[in-house]
Amino acid sequence: MYLDDALLYNQGYMISINDLDSPLFYLFDYDSRSFKINMSFQHFHQFHEIHILLSGRASHLIEGDYYTLQPYDIVLLRPSMMHKTEYPAGGDCRRLIINFRVPDDSPRAARNAAKLFTALRGRGAHLPLYR
């Protein structure tokens, strides 16, 4: 079995739990992107974002640093981190975006989110990219 066959893919599939203004918010955006719809500017969110590149190549500009992504790289973005994703000319790139907000009044949820980000970064690494 090829690695790509192990992951079912349904383009344009999105699951949203609560709305963006809710204290507890999740959004799973499973789609493809291409050079034709690159972001024209950096932006930030008031929620966490996990970007997983599933196929193709991409780059991410994060807080002024440039990262080249390979398939299955995971980018971790805390709230208010300036970022921008760019996809090269050529075929579409599949990706999964997970956005979530941790409630301010839930110390346990905040600790768990911190553990997730620490675990994915690895020992002593401060990069927002997990390869």
Model confidence at 20, pLDDT cuts 50, 70, 90, reads: confident
Q: pLDDT tens digits, residue range 53-96? A: 998 899 989 999 999 999 999 998 888 889 999 888 887 888 89
Largest CA distance in the chain: 45
The pLDDT, as a whole number, for residue 1 is: 40
Determine the Cα–Cα distance for residues 122 and 131; give it in Å rounded to an integer: 10
Structural domain spans, the chain:
32-114
C-alpha dihedral sign at 84, 56, 78, 16: positive
The pLDDT, as a whole number, for residue 9 is: 56
Global pTM value: 0.76
CATH architecture of 32-114: Sandwich (2.60)
